[in-house]
Structure 1
Amino acid sequence: MDYSVTDSEDWITYSIRTNGLPVEASYTKTSIETIFIPLLQHLKEMQAEKGGRLIVYLAAPPAAGKSTLASFLKYLSEEHSGLKPIDSIGMDGFHLQHQYLINHAVKIDGKVVPLAKIKGAPPTYDLDGIHQKIREISEGALCKWPFYDRLLHNPVQDAVTVERDIVLIEGNYLLLKDEGWKDLADYADFTIRIIADPDFLRTRLVERKHLSSGKPLFDVEKFVDFSDMRNVRLCLDESYPADLTLVLNPDNSYSLPTD
């Protein structure tokens, strides 16, 4: 996986291609030294004590930076001596095929809505497939994992090999309390959750989708408010507490909760 790292006085900027698109994120050196490195050290110790594969969840609402953070944690685990390298994978590879989403619908507020109009919501995922693969990983097997390509708008099967003793899985709904989803928590040895102000996440969502899609701003805002913000509220309001909670701040830094 291609990436680049730029070091400034107080920040580390991490650039990578994720889900088929280039992404850049900056992390404060304070958060790296006081949160991320100690977290990875803790996971190393947990895995040594367990003796088998350690499953870690990183759950967060849309636009909270979870995919890039998961990749950055993998980078840190490989580059810092004394840490144990981890694998990082995402649940977006379990999106149902886009053609299926076009041809199937659900009712929302009494109206029939094609699944493609709410892509990213829980019904647009292959939940059985998620259960099967995480169960396979938790048993310690070397296995393949799907990858979601935002350029193809479809998952690519068996794109990633999972082989390390610590596996970080990121996704929106890994800690969701809803039926079927809530059972995923049984596989996790350690859980992380990102929270943020919903209005701040809306701003990030609109900016990201406007840049990536090229669609008029009005259309982007309409989709974000109808689909993405429902998912934001669902993740923030209906997820289980985690072993570690991170706060995404308005300056795009991460910190621990203050209360």
Structure 2
Amino acid sequence: MPGQPRRSPVVHREGMEGLLERARELLGDGRRRVLGITGPPAAGKGRLADRLLRRLEGNAVLVPMDGFHLAGAELRRLGRQDRKGAPDTFDAAGYLALLRRLREQGEGDEVVYAPEFHRSVEESYAGSIAVPSDVPLVITEGNYLLLDQGSWSGVRELLDECWYLAPDDDKRVERLIARHVRHGLSRERAREWVLRSDERNARLIAGTRDRADLVVRGDIG
């Protein structure tokens, strides 16, 4: 829970059902809880979050970190377009402010709206995700939930739990290359981008795993 001393993360070995049961325990007394899911690019964060969302049957809302990507025009202005996905290509302070608002949202309060990133256009749309006040669990997933620098350093204390996904790296890199190919890059260009940019970010993210409550090894079946 936020504010409590950190212990070494537990290594999870119980598959999807065990993770689902752990998420259900967060529902507890019905108060608002926030579950973070993090790990390197293409670790399966969004896939796991979507599966939890379906199984929790209306008791959770998914608010991805990716909604806080800086717009393409702003990345070009800053000269950062060639490394989109690095920590300084997000509005980290905005994401932190949204998490605080979600934690403080009480029953009967107005709906909170969050942005959503659309890979088809590589941009975020504001006000896309509605979070009603009576939903007890917010699931948020993204690369930098455990990063201890700048505004990112405030995120960890707003998460009741954070899980770190650690799949096989060779399989993860192949998934990442395939993702970029699906979104229009040649395989050669996709591989260059992954090895130059995405894997540099992955190494940074790997250094944050000890701040997690749970490390999930391998792919979740």
* TM norm structure 1: 0.73
**1:59-208 matched pairs, under 5 angstroms:** 59-78=38-57, 85-105=59-79, 115-140=80-105, 141=109, 142-163=111-132, 164-208=135-179
Deviates more, 1:223-232 or 1:199-208: 199-208
Distance, in Å, in 2 between the alignment partners of 1:176 and 1:239 is: 9
* Whole-Å separation in 2 of the counterparts to 1:62 and 1:159: 23
Counterpart of 1:242 in structure 2 is 212
- Quick one: distance in 1 between partners of 2:93 and 2:211? 23
Taking the aligned partners of 1:180 and 1:102, their CA distance within structure 2 comes to 22
What secondary structure does 2:155 align onto? helix
Write the mapping of 1:210-225 to structure 2, written as runs, cut at 5 A: 210-213=181-184, 215-225=185-195
CA distance in 2, matches of 1:160, 1:88: 8
More strand by share: 1
Amino acid at match of 2:115: P
Q: Does the Cα contact within 8 Å between 2:35 and 2:140 map onto a contact in 1?
A: yes
Q: Check whether the contact 1:176–1:239 (CA below 8 A) recurs between aligned residues.
A: no
Provide the aligned C-alpha RMSD in A: 1.7
Task: Kindly provide the amino acid, as one letter, of the partner of residue 54 in structure 1.
Answer: R
CA distance, structure 1, for counterparts of residue 169 and residue 16 of structure 2: 24
The offset of 1:197, in angstroms, is 3.5
Residues 27 and 136 in structure 2, CA contact (< 8 A), matched pair in contact too? no
Higher alpha-carbon Rg = 1
How many equivalent residue pairs?
202
Cα distance in 1, alignment partners of residues 211 and 23 from structure 2 = 20
State the match for 1:253 in structure 2. 220
| Cα shift readout 1:186-210 (whole Å, capped 9, x = no counterpart) | 1111111111333332121112212
**Which position in structure 1 is the counterpart of 2:24?**
41
Paired letter, 2:35: V
Give the distance between the partners of 1:61 and 1:91, measured in 2 at CA.
13
Counterpart pick for 1:32 among 16, 28, 34:
16
Aligned to 1:81: none
What stretches of structure 2 of length at least 5 have no aligned partner?
1-13
Q: 1:121 to 1:173 in 2, by over 3 A?
A: same
Q: Percent identity?
A: 29
Deviation at 1:240, TM superposition (A): 4.2
Q: What amino acid is the match of 2:38?
A: A
Structure 1 gap segments, 5+ residues each: 1-29, 79-83, 106-114, 255-259
- Map 1:44-59; keep pairs closer than 5 Å: 44-45=27-28, 48=29, 52-59=31-38
Q: Distance in 2 between matches of 1:99 and 1:138?
A: 31
RCO comparison, higher one (Cα < 8 Å, 6+):
2
Query: So what's the TM-score if we normalise by structure 2?
Result: 0.85
